[in-house]
Amino acid sequence: MTDLTAPVTGKKLLFVTGTRADFGKLEPLAHAAQQAGFEIGFFITGMHMMGRYGETRLEVKRFAGAEFFEFVNQREGDALEFILSKTILGFSDFVHEHRPDLVIIHGDRVEALAASIVCAMRYIRSAHIEGGEVSGTIDESIRHCNTKLCATHFVSSEAARQRVLALGEAPDRVYNIGSPELDTHARPSGVTIEEVKTRYAIPFDDYGIVIFHPVTSEADTIGAQAKSLFACLEASGKNFVVIAPNNDPGTDEIFATLEQLPSERFRIIPSMRFNYFSELMKNAAVMVGNSSAGVREAPFLGLPSLDVGTRQNNRAQSMSVTACCAHETQAIIKFLSNQWGVRSAMNNAYGKGLASVQFVHAVSSFVFWQIGFQK
């Protein structure tokens, strides 16, 4: 007789990762699952495989005791639909030989959509991390597609859970665990700020962090937005650590602006190890840009952030977040003058840093593995 109360262990969990950002969210879940007795594998693709973005596949492969499978799904300048089709073919070939028990897919990138499609077509159990978010671009459409394709859902807030339910998903398929990257921010980083500055050659003691990504629906104006934003930052006289943008259409225009910035005031870094990035955020004066880190992670740490443009529209609400467009010069200057170094109380809207505990509790239950594929 099957013991329905005994924890499930030993199953093969495959985490699909295409960017440094999604790996920061998946890594805490993978570590916790490994400690609970699951076998861990990573399907590494996307930006991880590209030298321009730091070849972060090497960071993924620092994860001890896991299997790694690499797939080059794109070259510089490839169209998103071409990347999608190529990734579907590659991931389909992969699961034909290595059929995992559960595929964990994050968010809204084309790599995630490819994996979701393959899992749905092949009836391979899948779990979608951070569905139910809103952003207003093609990312949101891809994210909702992943929700409908995946078998189970691990969302980051009650609002996200309600959106997933509104899409027609059954309540017993949806788990609100909070944002997984907050697990890393909630604990000591394991490094000092001096170690971070040394490793990444950051010469500043007082600095802000900037992450400004392309917006796929605004590729024709993103270059002008970048020029306006960084002109304001340069005029402020303050120091900034800039994390390079992702590889969506428009990234070349942003890089063209970054290349013109004075190196004595702007330190541009392709990518960072997530625990180092966490320590960098914990010691920063502000965060500026359009990354989700500015509207989710920064409020959790009490770090004031300036959300620039439309990329994170309606994504999150916090008193520590100020919104403006890239051309609102006075608003940017006012934020840098009034909010620099002004910390606020921790915001727990996206959890308290316990996502990995709740994730393992779910996947270790007998009930989770009885959820059917038919919706």
Q: What would the mean pLDDT of 309-336 be, rounded to a whole number?
A: 91
Q: Is the CATH code 3.50.50.60 the one for domain 193-339?
A: no
Cα–Cα distance for residue pair 136/128, rounded to 1 Å: 19
18 within 8 A of 115, measured Cβ to Cβ: no
Q: What percent of the chain has pLDDT over 70?
A: 98
The residues spanned by each domain of the chain are 12-178+354-370, 193-339
Q: What is the pLDDT of residues 85-137, one digit of tens each?
A: 999 999 999 999 999 999 999 999 999 999 999 999 999 999 999 999 988 77
pTM: 0.92
Q: What would the mean pLDDT of 156-178 be, rounded to a whole number?
A: 97
Comparing C-alpha atoms, which of 13, 18, 60, 63 is closest to residue 33? 13
How far is the CA of 125 from the CAs of 108, 196, 198, 231, 329, in angstroms? 18, 39, 43, 48, 49
55 within 8 A of 48, measured Cβ to Cβ: yes
292 within 8 A of 109, measured Cβ to Cβ: no
Q: Does the structure show a pLDDT above 50 at 1?
A: no
> Which uninterrupted H or E stretch holds 142?
helix 138-149
Comparing C-alpha atoms, which of 346, 228, 347 is closest to residue 288? 228
Q: What is the pLDDT of residues 335-373, one digit of tens each?
A: 999 999 999 999 999 999 999 999 999 999 999 999 998
* CB within 8 Å of 108: residues ≥ 6 apart: 133, 135, 139, 140, 142, 143, 146
Q: How confident is the model at residue 2 (pLDDT cuts 50, 70, 90)?
A: low
Q: Which two tokens stand for residue 62?
A: 């620092």
Topology (CATH level 3) of domain 12-178+354-370: Rossmann fold (3.40.50)
